Chains A and B, each alone.
Chain A
Amino acid sequence: MNLDLALLLAQDGIANGAIYVLVALGIVLVFLVTRIIFVPFGDLVAYGALTLAAIQEGQRPGTIWLVPMLAVLAFAVEAASLLHKGAAHRLPRAALVWLVLPALPALAAWPLAGRELPDLLGIVLTVALILPIGPLLYRIAYRPIADAPVLVLLIVSVVLHFAISGVALVFFGPEGGRPRPLIRAMFEIGDMIVSAQTLLMLACSALAAFGLWLFFERSIAGKALRATAVNRVGARLVGIRPGVTGGTAFLLASALAALSGLLIGPVTTLSYDSGFVIGLKSFVGAIIGGLVSYPGAALGALFVGLLESFTAFYDSSFKEVAVFAILVPVLVLRSLVTAKPADDEEDEL
């Protein structure tokens, strides 16, 4: 392999890696704040891309049905828990928060979708449709067992992915979609040709990482989220409601997923179930980066992109094998480097 070829592979790898960086940031965000490994994050990304593609093609996106359905479920779960606690007087507010508010974007999108829309409006609609999904999933699946061991939360995550992608198949259909690129320009940097879309993705990743840092380091809301992650009991004792911070974290994750979907969609054709593998590869990147730091996750995700493109050069069919197989030696290395965990959780399940 000569240098030119290596450069070519590297630029391809960075373009792929840029996809994973955004997703990895979202996954680390949710994990740090809620201890939940949010496997369906990749699905949200795919739904974002598919929603935008459908809107651009003048069709009604699957999210128009998906989101109200989740809203009804979430309200049912909330109502049941309120009635169980004997707090029926809080039902109207719950209906507003869990039923009306999340369903609003879908109601707004209904008459609009199906016509020729300006690009910007399409993007706004897409984001508005994806935003409620994270908090709704949180309310339905995770909040009832917020105190459960990480392992149980992880199983719930994996199961949730399969359940939600079964629903997505009904609403989105099996065909893939690919929205138009946001910008089409190509740049030459030295010998490398880089698409503007790749640069945009890298820029957005950097911005998102910086924005997250700002939010968590500078704002009291961000600090409250971190505090919940560090010490749940401590957080409750200063009046922070873990349910609210959890919902906020998932809202942020949704926003990141929508952004990722907008950016990734034009680069690669996505279908209802392709978010899973993208999510898991980003996840491998996040774990390589240590799962606790945003820059680490970003670097790990870039590494995954590079690994993929270099493996693909030798035999493209083995790039997935390589990405997932690399995790085992990485984890072994980490377990050798870091000290032993203090004491494992008693009764994991």
Chain B
Amino acid sequence: MENMIEFKNVHKWYGKLHVLNDINLEISRGEVLVICGPSGSGKSTLIRCINRLEEIQKGEIVVNNTPVHDKTVNLTRLREDIGFVFQQFHLYPHMTVLQNITLAPVNVKKMSRKKAEAIAMEKLEQVGLTDKSGAYPGQLSGGQQQRVAIARGLAMSPEIMLFDEPTSALDPEMIGEVLDVMVNLVSEGMTMCVVTHEMGFAKKVADRVVFMDEGKIVETGKPDEFFDNPKTERAESFISMILTH
């Protein structure tokens, strides 16, 4: 299958801290990859490198045939194709939901406002929030804010969606509504990288699970195999940790 994202011998340091240590990873078109691991293991950094929110010091990342960290790369063009959803949502608090979603399509894709708003409403319907288009983020619950953030990412019609712990900042009763939206995305064939500890989500829709520790990919496998029969001791102790909570 065609590779959508490819990590080749990627290294990254924060000062002396080796946050990404020789990462080799291939993600094919339409694949859903879940990345898990203890905090500080480099999983967030890993996906932040994909749209170059972070620089790397060694190796190469190729997204859709574009070398991400090449000097000549058109970053705007690259980022149009990659939606990013943050743990803390990061909606723009001074704009309405509709303005949040249309900002990039109008200004980056140079879409007419009317068309952008039509697309925004379509995406809001997809996340079940058409009635909130005029609301400000502060008036929404965490789960609703995160769904708006997903709609904002989708409005650019990306080929890849990256999720950095999308449910970790949510109250337990709101996690489900966000995961439902993500599961629906999977059925549309979106290429997705999701940093999460939601085992249920991983078992249900992930094609592969990558387990990271201390900047390295320690184990890769099918979700059922990984969670039920981890091959490495570190993965095993990590899984027993998240299970007891």
A is bound by B: no
